[in-house]
Amino acid sequence: MSEKDNNEPKKSSYLKLVLVAIIFATLAIWQPWVPSKDAAPPAKGYNTELVKKAIPPVTKVVKDYSDFVADYQSPNSDIQKVYIGIDGLTIIVQKKAEGASYTTYKPTTGDLNLVTDLAEHKIPFQGAKPTTDGFFTAGNIIMIVFVALIAYSIFGRKGMGGMGGAGKMGETKAKHLEANEITVRFADVAGVEEAVKDVAEVVDFLHNPGPYTELGAKIPRGVILTGPPGCGKTLLARAIAGEAGVPFFPVSGSEFVEMYVGVGAARVRDTFEKAAKCAPSIIFIDEIDAIGRSRSSGHGNNNDEREQTLNEILTKMDGFGQNDVPVIVLAATNRDDILDAALMRAGRFDRKVRISLPDLKGREQIIKVHTEKKPLEEGTDLLEVVRGMTGVSGADLANLANEAALIAVRRKSKTICANDFELAKDKVTLGEKSGRKMKPKDKRNTAYHEAGHAIIGYLEPDFDKCTKVSILPRANALGITQFTPEEDKVSITKAQIFSTVRMAYGGRAAEEIIGGAENITTGASNDIQRITSYLTSAIMQWGLSDKVGQLAYASEYGDHLAQSVQRLPYSENTAEMMDLEKRELSDKLYNQTKEILLANMDKMHAMADALLKWETIEVEQIEAIMEGREPPTPIWFLEPVEAPVVSPEKTEDVVSEV
Interatomic CA distance for residues 605 and 114, integer angstroms: 112
Amino acid, single-letter form, for residue 158: K
The answer to whether residue 58 scores a pLDDT higher than 80 is: no
Contact yes or no for 57/94 (Cβ under 8 A): yes
Q: Count CB neighbours of 19 within 10 A.
A: 19
pLDDT, average across residues 194-216: 80
Contact yes or no for 452/485 (Cβ under 8 A): no
Q: Count CB neighbours of 312 within 10 A.
A: 21
- Of 14 and 106, the one with more pLDDT: 106
pLDDT, average across residues 42-59: 47
Sign of CA dihedral 523, 525, 530, 534: positive
Query: Any idea which of 4-13, 69-78, 608-617, 630-639 has the lowest mean pLDDT?
Result: 4-13
Query: Any idea which of 52-56, 330-334, 560-564 has the lowest mean pLDDT?
Result: 560-564
The answer to whether residue 81 scores a pLDDT higher than 70 is: yes
Helix residue spans in 318-356 (DSSP H): 341-344
Contact yes or no for 488/629 (Cβ under 8 A): no
| pLDDT attached to residue 60 | 75
What are the tens digits of pLDDT across the range 452-487? 888 888 888 878 888 888 888 876 677 888 887 777
Mean of the per-residue pLDDT values of the chain? 75
| pLDDT attached to residue 589 | 92
pLDDT, average across residues 380-392: 82
**Residue 470 phi, psi dihedral angles, 5° rounding:** -145, 145
Where does residue 443 rank: exposed (0-12), middle (13-18), buried (19+ CB within 10 A)? buried
Interatomic CA distance for residues 157 and 165, integer angstroms: 7
The residues annotated as belonging to the active site are: 450
Label residue 152 by pLDDT band (50, 70, 90).
low
What are the tens digits of pLDDT across the range 489-509? 777 888 888 888 999 998 889
Q: Which helix (H) or strand (E) holds 329?
A: strand 327-333
The answer to whether residue 15 scores a pLDDT higher than 70 is: no
Q: Which residues pair with 351 in a beta bridge?
A: 223
Query: Any idea which of 292-296, 343-347, 492-496 has the lowest mean pLDDT?
Result: 292-296
3-state helix, strand, coil in the chain (%, to 5): 50, 10, 40
Q: Are strands 90-95 and 125-127 parallel, antiparallel or unpaired?
A: unpaired
The answer to whether residue 46 scores a pLDDT higher than 80 is: no
Look up the pTM and report it.
0.59
Interatomic CA distance for residues 466 and 382, integer angstroms: 20
CA distances to 167, 312, 317, 333 from 261, in Å: 15, 12, 21, 24
| pLDDT attached to residue 642 | 45
Q: Are strands 222-226 and 90-95 parallel, antiparallel or unpaired?
A: unpaired
Label residue 106 by pLDDT band (50, 70, 90).
confident
pLDDT, average across residues 112-133: 74
Interatomic CA distance for residues 617 and 455, integer angstroms: 13
Domains of the chain in start order, with CATH, are 3-32+135-168 (no CATH), 179-354 (3.40.50.300), 360-430 (1.10.8.60), 440-657 (1.20.58.760)
What are the tens digits of pLDDT across the range 244-282? 888 888 888 777 776 666 677 778 888 888 888 887 888
Highest mean pLDDT among 13-22, 132-141, 649-658: 13-22
The answer to whether residue 96 scores a pLDDT higher than 50 is: yes
